[in-house]
Amino acid sequence: MAAVATPETRARSRRRRRMTLSRRFESAGPLTYLFLLGVAIFSFFPLYWSVVVASHDNSATADYPPVMTPGSQLFHNISRVFNSGEVNISFWTALINSAIVSGAIAFSVVLFSTLAGFAFAKLHFRGNKLLMLVVIGTLIVPVQLGVIPLYIEMKHLGWINHLQAVIAPSLVSAFGVFLMRQYIVAAVPNELIDASRVDGCSTIRVFWHVVLPAVRPAAAVLGLLTFMNAWNDFFWPLIVLSPRNPTVQVAVSALQSGYVQDYSLVFAGTFISILPLIVIFLVLGKQIIGGIMKGAVKG
């Protein structure tokens, strides 16, 4: 007769698996680190190449063999991006718009996804599983199918060429709800919620004082991914915003709209557009990764 697994045996089994995985990482050989170094170089090369092209004049892109070292015109090309009259677009406006849109979307997705994830994970109501299946099912629907009705709705609301037309459709995501639901199931024990209710906490206080502190690592990851996705979004802002009130990706595309493409100008704009993402990751990456590892050790 098979033995029934108790919570204590399951916890011990999880700890053994984590220790085994940790020993495997610690015993990685030189080939593993060599492979990781190759992947890092391969991933970093596009960024390096954009800096190389942006630091030369446009004629350098036709040189053979191609130039592989940065030149001396990077800051000159960056000043052309911000002050050039070659394109009828304001790059400063684009950066500000992208910061507003990405920040608002990231905040709302983390808040609403955590609330919905808490409801699906810990609150018992009729149709819980069915509604969760519907949420997951929306992930397989192509975004392009909703462009026309969504544009008509934005036009009826009078939001065309306004930032709320970009922000409103992305206030919550099915992926965020699913991610936070799965994390809350694993990270927040039912006993902890029951104990807080015994102490007199309402549902909102349980969420704010018990669930939210426990899911900070996942919320940080979701916020970073959402911010990056909103910052890099091109299709929908191109439809609902005008060239005089663009986001940064639309502004970068406008840099290559001339009769003769100036690649040094385009790559200078590309470098500027990805620089905020690099800064955010350098500033917050350690805390986010540390939070993930801290959350992984618990339980």
* Domain boundary assignment for the chain: 89-254
Peptide bond into 246 cis (omega under 30): no
CB 60 within 8 A of CB 67: yes
Residue 214 has what pLDDT?
A: 86
Distance of alpha carbon 277 from alpha carbon 32, whole angstroms: 28
Residues 6+ apart with CB under 8 A from 193: 122, 206, 210, 211
Q: Which fold has domain 89-254?
A: MetI-like fold (1.10.3720)
Residues 6+ apart with CB under 8 A from 238: 250, 253
Residue 28 has what pLDDT?
A: 62
pLDDT values of the chain reduced to their tens digit, one per residue, 299 residues: 445 556 566 666 766 776 666 666 556 667 878 888 899 888 888 888 888 888 888 777 777 777 788 888 888 888 888 886 556 778 899 999 999 999 999 999 999 999 999 999 988 888 888 999 999 998 888 888 889 999 999 999 999 999 999 999 999 999 999 999 998 988 888 888 888 888 888 888 888 888 888 888 888 888 988 999 999 999 999 999 988 889 999 988 888 776 667 888 888 888 899 888 888 888 777 666 665 555 444 44
Positive or negative torsion for Cα 245, 251, 253, 259: positive
CB 284 within 8 A of CB 220: yes
Q: Provide the 10 A C-beta neighbour count for residue 255.
A: 23
This prediction's pTM: 0.81
Residue 297 has what pLDDT?
A: 43
- HSE-up of 30 (CA within 13 Å, CB side)? 0
